[in-house]
């Protein structure tokens, strides 16, 4: 059975979204910044965590960011996502996956 998770945060006028599609064969994770894919990770199996993805905000100069996904151990919300931007850590709330 395939599970989907989605995390989203609006920060400094930018939209950051992380989508995870997890199955028994393949797990795919994508990072979207302002609606554009800037990182993608595919692995066979349920995924390996913690997982780090990096990207940047389209500014002058570009601002780097990182996403950290971790297992929580909880059955209701098994993943937690954190945005690392300008030295600060921002928890990203889970939303209903589309």
Convert the chain into a string of H (helix), E (strand) and C (coil).
CCEEEEEEEEECCEEEEEEEEECCCEEEEEEEECCEEEEEEEEECCCCCCEEEEEEECCCCCEEEEEEEEECCCCCCCEEEEEEECCEEEEECEECCC
Q: Which two tokens stand for residue 89?
A: 């850590």
The residue range of the domain holding 52 is: 3-95
Q: How many domains is the chain built from?
A: 1
- Number of Cβ atoms within 10 Å of the Cβ of 13: 8
Residue-wise pLDDT tens digits, 10-41: 988 999 999 999 887 899 999 999 999 999 99
Whichever domain contains 65, its CATH number is 2.40.128
pLDDT-derived band at 52 (thresholds 50, 70, 90) equals: very high
> Taking 70 as the threshold, does the pLDDT of residue 1 lie above it?
no
- List, for residues 71-83, the tens digit of each pLDDT value: 998 888 899 999 9
Torsion on CA atoms 35, 38, 44, 47, rounded to nearest 10: -80
């Amino acid at each position: 059975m395939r599970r989907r998770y989605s995390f989203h945060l609006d920060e400094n006028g930018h939209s950051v979204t992380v989508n995870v599609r997890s199955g028994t064969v393949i797990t795919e994770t994508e990072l979207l910044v302002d609606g554009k894919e800037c990182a993608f990770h595919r692995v066979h199996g349920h995924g390996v965590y913690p997982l780090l993805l990096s990207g940047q905000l389209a500014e002058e100069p570009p601002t780097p960011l990182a996403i950290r996904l971790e297992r929580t151990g909880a059955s209701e919300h098994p993943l937690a996502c954190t945005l690392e931007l300008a030295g600060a850590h921002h928890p990203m709330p889970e939303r209903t996956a589309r």
